[in-house]
Amino acid sequence: MVSLIQRYHFITLLLTGLTFLVVMVGAYTRLSDAGLGCPDWPGCYGSLIVPEEITGQNAYAHIPLEKDKAWIEMIHRYIAGILGFALFTLTLMSLCHKPVIENIRGLLAFTSLLIIFQAALGMWTVTWLLHPTIVMLHLLGGMATLSLVWLANLRIRAAAEFKRPYHKPSRGIKMGAVIGLIMVIIQIALGGWLSTNYAAFACPDFPTCQNTWWPPLYLEAFNPFIPLDRNFSGGFLDHPLRVSIHFAHRLGALITTLYLLIFGAYCLTQLYGRIRFVIFILWLVLLVQVLLGIINVVALLPLWAAVLHNGVAALLLLVMVTLNYRLLQARL
């Protein structure tokens, strides 16, 4: 019984790593402008691999082939396909071991459905020519998939552990952790909206934005209902709207950082054991994320820093999921 639980724990840990890889490669695909490297889906110029050249007989011959970008896009699709197959397989396996892993069976089934929706979003990202709302939803879907797979791992790990005496956290601390998780999700959404609207260069100065501490803000910059009437590669919003998006992301980062620092400090005065370790990890990841955000501005968005910024955002989300789960289980 225990060995089977440990096996599932190992598998879900591997799937977490694979999902994180998909998120990172997806970020690299987006930030290297390779999202339309293949004009069709799920193949590339009508083939399951990137063709060597495009002939006049090809339905997409009017679209120039950029092999480097096409391969980046296809590698992302290959890895995502492997992840989907692995998740479906694990979900089917869980049906054969109901008494053992009952606490993750429904979670795996929901995650598998989410993977199907993610595939649809990936298709619409291409067919709707990088529509900002679809691209942002695709990013959030990837983060949600990562969180759910990690949550399955946490549940399996908890099932393999013996119960220990614990100090039950207050309802206020639990609610504070939920608020922190919601703030991180909103901040990731703002970052996705900034990226998909090409607003990273809207404020090239730091800590000010356009040489002011509070530039004019326009709510229409955040309208998700955008007509499907153009190619959105390179962005379509006017500069003042991009400034609004960039500043909102910065402001959200400041508020989220201050909240997590204060909330974490309060937790350290009230709790002990593994929760204290999670708080220290939270602060470390938060510090790295803030530094990467600053580097992206002052160094004009180097690709390595932009990709890492996405990856550390995913890690920050996982830390918050872990914190909420630990508090909910009250096994400190």
Q: What is the pLDDT of residue 7?
A: 85
**Contact between residue 47 and residue 3 where contact means Cβ atoms under 8 Å apart:** no
> Distance between CA 22 and CA 41 in Å, rounded?
17
Whether 2 has a pLDDT exceeding 60, the answer reads no
For the chain, the 3-state helix, strand and coil shares in percent, each to the nearest 5, are 70, 0, 30
Locate the domains of the chain by residue range.
Answer: 1-161, 167-332
* Burial of residue 231, with CB atoms counted within 10 A of its CB: 0-12 exposed, 13-18 middle, 19 or more buried: exposed
Q: Which two tokens stand for residue 38?
A: 């293949």
At 81, the pLDDT band (50, 70, 90 cuts) reads very high
- Mark whether 73 is an active-site residue: yes
Instruction: Check residue 157 and report its DSSP letter.
Output: H
Question: What is the dihedral angle through the alpha carbons of 281, 284, 289, 295, rounded to the nearest 10 degrees?
Answer: -160
Whether residue 1 has pLDDT greater than 80? no
Structure tokens at 186: 């909103």
At 47 the three-state DSSP class reads: strand
The set of residues, in sequence order, having a beta carbon less than 8 Å from that of 203 and lying 6+ positions away, is: 209, 210, 215, 243, 246, 247, 250, 297
Can you name the residues that pair with 209 across neighbouring β-strands? Answer: 212
Task: Kindly tell me the burial class for residue 34, based on how many C-beta atoms sit within 10 Å of its own C-beta (0-12, 13-18, 19 or more).
Answer: buried
Q: Residue 227, preceding bond cis, omega within 30 degrees?
A: no
Confidence of residue 98 (pLDDT cuts 50, 70, 90): low
Tokens 């795996």 appear where?
108
Give the model confidence (pLDDT) of 150-174 as tens digits.
999 999 887 666 555 456 788 899 9
Q: How far is CA 286 from CA 43, 260, 312, 323, in A?
A: 38, 8, 8, 14
The pLDDT assigned to 208 comes to: 97
Predicted pLDDT at 305? 97
**Which range has the worst mean pLDDT, 1-5, 218-222, 265-269, 271-275?**
1-5
pLDDT of residue 195: 96
The per-residue pLDDT for range 277-287, each reduced to its tens digit, is: 999 999 999 99
The CA distances from residue 79 to 74, 132, 145, 268, 321, in Å, are 9, 23, 14, 40, 24
Q: Choosing from 66, 73, 102, 220, which is the catalytic residue? A: 73
Q: Within 13 A of 56's CA, how many CA atoms are on the CB side?
A: 0
pLDDT, tens digit, 9 for 90 and up, residues 229-274: 899 999 999 999 999 999 999 999 999 999 999 999 999 998 777 7
CA distance 88 to 113: 9
Rounded to an integer, what distance in angstroms lies between the CA atom of residue 81 and that of residue 86? 9
Least Cα distance to 306 among 328, 318, 289 occurs for 289
Give the rounded percent of residues in the chain with a pLDDT score beyond 90: 80
